[in-house]
Structures are given as structure tokens and as C-alpha cells.
Structure 1
Amino acid sequence: MSMTFDDELKTRVESQFPNIVEQLKTLIRIPSVSSDSFDQAPVAQSAEQVRAFFAELGGETSIRSCPGENGWEGRPAVIAKFPATSVKPEAAPTVLLYAHHDVQPGGDPEKWTVTTPFEPVEKDGRLYGRGSSDDGAGIAVHLGSISALGNDRNVNIVVFIEGEEEVGSPSFNNFLEENREDLKANLIVVTDSDNWKAGHPAITTTLRGVAQVTVELQVLDHALHSGMFGGPILDAVTLSSRLIATLHDEDGSVAVEGLVSRETADVDYPEADFRNDTGLLDGVQLAGRGALASRLWTQPAISIIGMDTTSVANASNTIIPSCRFVVSMRVAPGQDANEARQKLTEHLIKHTPFGAKIEISDGEAGPAYQAEDNQYLATLRECLAASWGREPVDIGVGGSIPFIADFQRAFPEAAVVVTGVEDPLTNAHSEDESQDLDDLQKAILAEALLLNKVGNGVNN
């Protein structure tokens, strides 16, 4: 029996995979943290290394950047173009492959148990190191799929590797506008999401949006002696705590009126698995109601992610006059993030305790995402099933990827699909970040199959 091209792709991926892993290790060693508080030389180094990897595959490569919002100096992004070779480029569809090369800070090296943040180590089938999965694995998938196709490309491929995703992509819209002609595509593949579990592929069909506000509560114009004046006057931290407590019902469900919420989910997430995946301490009860997966994907969530008040080290017998905190809300698919933020603001004002003075300033607002059925989504399902040998599931992701909506606005004629290779053990943004290498290899094959099938549609 003669070997099919799909079989040939699988053979190529297997033979080339060790080199792809070495390239991923090279990227892990570069501390490309895009935050302003870190040296930006490694981000430039990372962009150049990514560009070089795609240039080695024969791509027409460049490094570009543009200013962002509020004077933001855009981080370097890589664009690599691979025109179709087996058909005329003008007759072939175009696929845009997205990932990002910037990473989160390494954190406390003492809390990493397998390696230090920027030194890659393989252990038990996983590759450890900052960016090993988020999103070095996304870059590796694109490198591997293009390498496997070689010169048998029936599709135009454009690669866009961003350099500031981990800080909210402040120049993303400007970048899309300035590079519109180079980035136009029929299909956009975002490789920066999750699988259901290691060994079980998934397609991300929903993403929660994000909305933040900063709240300052004030009760006095200066601090007072707590012994002399405590009693009639409650301190600002206590009042802030009372206000924060109104954001949830007794069962831990979000209590802000007017928010979209759906309590059902397409998959079952057993509580025992969730506890194991998250490291939840014994005895800690889960909050909310409805399907557990829905609480993560299609219901709103509210967290206090920062608070300014007197530290324990500086504690004194003083009534604290003011307190400031940041409320971060994840917005369910189907609701505008700005509308949800307004509902949150109205709730905070309405429930301000004891007549305290409250000031609220708007923070980030990023849209949610709901995938639409299309021919590419169905084809992606086929390719994932062929590579993993099992059917993928549709999942949501509790986190937000606001730039997907930016893609949709900039290129309304393009379909967008969201996939990735993270899993519950990945620990993205945390210590011991890692990537399952078997899943990485399968993801490369799935993308190579997808690119080939998209190209085949031209000739049918």
C-alpha cells in the first residue's frame, strides 16, 4: 500500500521533532519578559531568534513594531511569509498562524522544584521552563508544521509572533492596521490555549472577557489613634472588606446584578480532578453553583487582585483612613465587557457601607469570545482527531484573550479558530511551568494536516 501524504507528514513530524524541542529549549533560555519593569534586551533577542528559526525554513522574515496606547513603546514582533509552492500563490488560500514570544517573569527561583525558570529540563515526558508552554509551545507548533510541509505547500502561510501578549498587547490594534496587507488571511489560527487534559485535545470555543476597576475607599482625612477614637469610626480596610463581601452570595456565586451567566457546560469536570489540577487545600469548599466547568468558562468570576493598605510590618494602633483595591472580573461570553464593568461599578456604589467616600476608576476591559461554526472549525476537529486518535472536545477557557476580538474586527472576512497545547499540569504563569512533549508532537501534526487540508480545498 502506497503512503498517503498524511502518512508522510506524520513521518516527517516524528523525524524532525527532536530538533523542534531543541529550538524550544533555546527560546526558554531567553528571559523575554515584556513588562516595562524588566530589561527589554532579551525581548529583542527572543524576536531575533524566532525570526532566525523561521528564516531557516525559507520564510521571508522581518521584525516589526509600532507604538501602542498611552505612549507604549511596542515590543518587537516577527512576521514570516511562506507562499504556496505546489499551486500558484494567488490561487491558494492564506492561513495566519499566531503565537507570542514574550513570557511572564520567572518568579522566585526557590519555588521551582524541577529547574530554574530559564533553564529547560526534560522530566517524565514534560519539558520544564518559563515559556515552555505559554507560548513557546505555540511557536514550536508553527515551526514544526511548516517544517513538516517543506516545499509541499498548497496554501499561503503567514506567521505572526507577537512580543507583548503577556502585558495585554497594547500596540496590537495599531500593529494590525499598519501591517494589514501582510496579515490578511482566510483563516487565523491562534495557538495560545489549552487541551482538555494531557492526551486529550480540545478546541477553545468560548473565552471569558475581562473588566477591572480600581476602588479607593476613604473615611477620614487623616489617621487617628485607634484607642481614642475606635468604636464610632470603622477603619477603611474594614469597610472595604464589607464592600468586597457584597460581590458574592453566601454560596460564592457572583452577586452583581445584570451579568450574563450560563450554568451548563458541554463537558463534565469531576471535582476530584479539579482539586488535583489546582492544588486546592483539603477542606476548602468550592464556590458557586451549576456545572463546575460552567463556573470556569461561562459564568462571571470576581477576584481582588491587589490592595494598598498598611503592611503587617508597619502595623500600629491607628485607624486607617483610606484603602485602595483592584477588582478583576471575568465576563461571561455573550456580554460586552464595558457593559459588565458598568454593572460592577453600579454595584460598588450602591453597596458602599456607612457612607464612606468612594472613588472608582476604570481599568482594563477586554471582550469575551464565542466561536462560530464554520468549515475550518470542522476541519480542525478532523485533524485533531486524526493526530491524537480520539475526538477533541469543545471547551471554554476562564482566562481572556482580548486580541481575538481585535482580529475579528480587523479581518471580518477571516475565520478564527483557537487551539493550543497547555493542559492542567502546565502551570502557566506559575512555578514549574511545563509542556507535555507527546501532546506537542501531536499538535504539530494536527496543524500540518490542517494547513494541507485548507490548501486542498482550492483544488476540489
Structure 2
Amino acid sequence: MTPDQIESAVAAGMPQAIDELKRLAAIPSVAFPGHPEEPVYAAAAATEELLRSAGLPRAQQIPVEGSFPAVYGEAPAPPGAPTVLLYAHYDVQPAGDPAAWRTPPFEPTLIDGRLYGRGTADDKSGIIAHVAALRTFQGRFPVGVKVIVEGQEEYAGERLEAFVERNPELVRADAIVVMDTGNPRVGDPAVTTSLRGMAAFTVEVRTLKDAVHSGSFGGAAPDALAALMRMLTALHDDNGDIRVPGLPRGSFLGSGPSEEDFRATAGVLDGVSLVGSGSLADRLWASYAITVTGLDVPSVSGAINAVQPFARARVTIRVPPSGDPKTTVDAVMEFLQQVAPWNVRIAFGDLTVGSGFQADSGGRARSSLNRAMERAFGRPPRDVGAGGSIPLVSKLVKLFPAAEILLFGAEDEDAAIHAPNERVDLEELRRVATAEALFLHEFGAPSALGI
């Protein structure tokens, strides 16, 4: 195929791809505990059928211990051609409060060229981009193809890490495309070259056997909620920089977003200051960040006049690519113990860790991707970092140090992933699918694009 034929084939297949994304995103495949499992298995089955429809001679679900199945597809390499592994995930974040959504989260809705709904971007757009790119070749692929789509990345991606470590030959490849990131803005091509690692834990504070009347006991009885609040606020100074010893600020060698763009994307209210020091690229991509993501305390609507006997919080830490998540979480837990008031009882649990990623300068695969993205977007891509984590990536780096790992996708920074009103820009999805198809073509036959 010529590059022109590839571009035309992807464009011609987009109506089908969009319909498939609508059907896939309508499945509430939330793999968090407490959510129904049937939709997650339904999404796995739908993904398996999509891979089969893309022309892969092998497509199947593979059990993953303690998790939902991975969906795997494979096509052998032509003689002398390299092999590319394509990654995405079919599980999604919980929708949260339905009232915060302008459209129902699991009823994908098309508005002005953008498809709204949970998972339309993160990461079912990645699945559809892979399928649209592969379908272009009608089963005659220029490279060997392996596809793995996992089912519990959002909650416990480390389970796929263990599976891959036990089955390395299943995913061994010369280049690995991780379709679970995106561009700073629609139409602004970028390759993510660094990921922060992640750690999370639950901290529980106990002070009393039971709640007691705030009138009779308040003023002397230690309030667990007040103690926990003091501990959590001690994590940052007045500027918003982290106070935990051993977690220094890092630096990112590249440009990040402007403050104006960041404020608009993050929805920072007028007059509210940003937190932390250093450039935005430093803060978002190369430094530690600590966020309290959940609290178990009495609700305001059900509040009673009582001193609280216990309180819990979920704490999430983002770790620079070169940082060690386990050492980091140990430092944060030790700090919380040191700043805890009144000799309260503290317990930690539900620990999760995942390593970060820093790409090498680039080789043949990155060069091929640069040319493919330049043709698909009209300009070459730039390097960006990502503050989020993809647990599998660091495992793949350790298993296959010679493989190039390329991270890109259709999740632009306005896509509201993990938030209400998530959406994907469908023209961006077309460009990303086109770039992947052109990359496979170019990687199989270098300089085939003539750029």
C-alpha cells in the first residue's frame, strides 16, 4: 500500500470505527471492587471481536490471575520484518456523580464532532485506533503484530505486570506502542517520553472506642477527624510544595504548558493560585505530587454533634520517573506518623505501587513514528511528559530493554479523562489511527513515507 492509500483507507473506515466506539463505550466496564463484573466481561468479549475483525488470525481472551481477562491478538511477521506490540485497556474509571455529567456517562453522545461518555477517550479510543489502523491492511500486515488489551488497568494494573513477567514471549516485540496518552491540544502531535510512577495507600486514625457527645466530651476527647486533618495538611507547606523529607523537586528538559493553558484545561477558578514551585513541566512531569483522593468521614447531611472516633483517607503519590515508589510511600507514611498529634493510633493499608518511565532518545521506531505523525498531523511531534502512570510500561522496559516504547494517543488534555464529561475528538482519533497505520507501514519498510 502507498501512504495515500493508507490515509484514504483509514478515513473510509472511520464511520464504522465511530459506531464501534459508541457500542464499546456504552458498556460500563468499571473493574473496581463493588461494581458489577458482567459489563467488564462484556467489554472483553467485544474487544476480542474487534481484534478478530481487524484481520488478526489469532484473537482470544487469556485469563489473568486475580483480574479480568486480557484480550490478545497476533499475526506473524513477514520474513525479515520486525514485530510491534500494541497496547490499550478496556476497563474504565467509575463515572462518579451522574449529576455532574451533561450527558449520561454510558450513553455515548456525539456533539460537534466529539463523542462524550466514560471511556470514549481513556482508553477505548486506544482500542479503536488500533483496530482502525490494523483494518487498513486487510490482514496483510507489513510487520508482525501483537495486541494486548487489559481489563483492570485503572484499578490494579500490576496484575497484568505479573502475567507478562510469567509469559514474556507472548508480548516480546521490537517496538511497543502504548495507546493510552495523548496530545497537549487537539491537532498538536506529541510523543510522551516520561511517565511518573504512582503509589497509593489508606491511612486510618483511631482515638476513641465510639463516638461521644461533642457537648459533654468536646474539648478534651481527641477527635480522630481533626487529627487526620492536621496530618494531611502537614504534607504541604503554605506554597503547596511537599514537606516530606527526601522528596525533592525535579526538572523536565523540555517545554510544558503555559499557565494560561493549564488554568483553562484544569478549570482553575479565577483568582485561585496554582500550587508548588518551579516550571509547570517540572511540577507536572518531573516532581512528586501528593493528593488526598478520598475521605471516610461523616457527611454534612448526616452530621451529628459527636466527636469522631476514627477517620480514614486515601492518599495518592505521583513519583518522578527516576524515583522509587516503595521508598517514596515509606517516606510519606513515616512522615504522617511523625506529625500525628495526641499519640493517636494509626494504621496503613491497601498499598499500591507502580514505577515510572523515561524513554531513550529514540531509534528506528521513533524515527518511523516521527515521520508518520508528521504526515498525519501536518507537523512533527514534540516530546512531552505525563503526570499519570501506566503500570505495565516499566515492566516492559525491564523485560525488553532493547525494545522501543512509544506512547501516544487521542486523549488530549481537554478530554476530561477520569472526570465528568469525558470526550474524544473524532478528528483527532482519525489522525491518531492514521499515524499508527503509517508507522506500521514505515517501520516495516523504512523511508516508505518519503519524508
TM-score by length of 2: 0.93
* Cα deviations by residue, 1:155-184 (Å, 9 ceiling, x for unpaired): 101111111112222530343245433321
User: What are the Cα deviations for residues 175-208 of structure 1, in whole angstroms up to 9, with x where unaligned?
Assistant: 3245433321111110001211111011111111
- Map residues 163-312 of structure 1 onto 2, 5 A cutoff: 163-264=151-252, 266-312=254-300
Give secondary structure in 2 for the equivalent of 1:158: strand
Distance 1:374 1:146 in 2: 24
The 5 A counterparts of 1:373-452 are 373-375=361-363, 376-452=365-441
> In the superposition, relative to structure 1, how do residues 232 and 147 fare at CA in structure 2: closer, same or farther (>3 Å)?
same
- Does the CA-based 8 Å contact 2:55-2:138 persist in structure 1? no
Listed one character per residue, the Cα deviations across residues 271-324 of structure 1 (whole Å, up to 9, x for unaligned) are: 222221122222221111111232111111111122223333443332223222
| Aligned equivalent of 1:83 | 76
Establish whether residue 27 from structure 1 lines up as the match of residue 35 from structure 2. no
1:435 Cα deviation from its structure 2 partner = 0.7
User: How do 1:124-135 and structure 2 match up within 5 A?
Assistant: 124-135=112-123
3-state SS of the aligned residue for 1:16? Answer: helix
Of 52, 59, 64, which aligns to 2:61? 64
Of the structure 1 ranges 139-148 and 179-188, higher mean CA displacement relative to structure 2 is found in 179-188
Q: In the superposition, relative to structure 1, how do residues 274 and 203 fare at CA in structure 2: closer, same or farther (>3 Å)?
A: same
CA distance in 2 between partners of 1:381 and 1:435 (Å)? 23
Offset of residue 151 of structure 1: 4.7
Deviation of the 1:212 alpha carbon: 1.9
Q: Secondary structure at the match of 1:420?
A: coil
Equivalences, count? 447
Report the CA distance shift for 1:296/1:44 in structure 2 as closer, same or farther (over 3 A).
same
Deviates further, 363-372 or 379-388: 379-388
Secondary structure at the residue paired with 2:203? strand
* Residue aligned with 1:312, SS: coil
Secondary structure, counterpart of 1:277 in structure 2: helix
1:354 equivalent in structure 2: 342
* Partner SS state of residue 161, structure 1: strand
8 Å CA contact 2:40, 2:91 repeated in 1: yes
Change in Cα spacing, 1:243 to 1:408, as seen in structure 2 (3 Å) is same
Aligned counterparts of 1:67 and 1:441: Cα–Cα separation in 2:
31
Pair 1:8-2:1 in alignment? no
Match of 2:88 among 80, 95, 99: 99
* CA distance in 2: counterparts of 1:129 and 1:40, whole angstroms: 19
Post-superposition shift, 1:221?
A: 3.8
Distance 1:318 1:195 in 2: 49
Number of the residue aligned with 1:112:
101
Q: Is the 8 A contact 2:48 2:61 kept in 1?
A: no
Gaps of 5+ in 1: none
Query: CA deviation digits over 1:83-136, x for unaligned, max 9?
Result: 34xx42xx22110001111222333433321x3222222221211222211111
Q: Is 303-312 or 293-302 further displaced after alignment? A: 303-312
Contact 1:289 1:295 in 2 (8 A): yes
In the alignment, the residues of structure 2 paired with residue 126 and residue 243 of structure 1 have an alpha-carbon distance, to the nearest angstrom, of 42
Q: Deviations over 1:338-394 (max 9, x none)?
A: 011111122112212233332333611111111112312233222212210122221
Structure 1 residues 222 and 105, CA gap change in structure 2 (3 angstroms): closer
Question: Is the Cα contact below 8 Å between 1:93 and 1:458 reproduced in 2?
Answer: no
CA–CA separation in structure 2 for the residues paired with 1:97 and 1:227: 62
Amino acid at match of 1:373: S
| Equivalent position to 2:329, from 341, 352, 373 | 341
What SS does structure 1 have at the residue aligned with 2:442?
helix
Q: What aligned pairs does 1:149-160 form with structure 2 within 5 A after superposition?
A: 149-160=137-148
Question: Are the equivalent residues in 2 in contact too, given 1:47–1:63 (CA < 8 A)?
Answer: no
SS of the aligned residue for 1:171 comes to helix
For 1:306, what is the secondary structure of its paired residue? Answer: strand
Measured after TM superposition, the shift of residue 76 of structure 1 is 2.2
CA distances 1:210-259 after superposition (whole Å, capped 9, x unpaired): 11232222333444433333334441211211111110011011111101
Q: Is the 8 A contact 1:243 1:348 kept in 2?
A: yes
Please give the secondary structure, in 1, of the residue aligned with 2:409. strand
Decide whether aligned partners of structure 1 residues 132 and 310 sit closer, same or farther in structure 2, where only a CA change above 3 A counts: closer
- Give 1:152 shift: 4.6
* Cα gap change, 1:451 to 1:323, in 2 (>3 Å): same
- Tell me the TM-score normalised to structure 1 length: 0.91
Q: Does the 8 Å CA contact 1:202/1:395 hold for their aligned counterparts?
A: yes
Contact residue 61 and residue 78 of structure 1 kept, 8 A: no
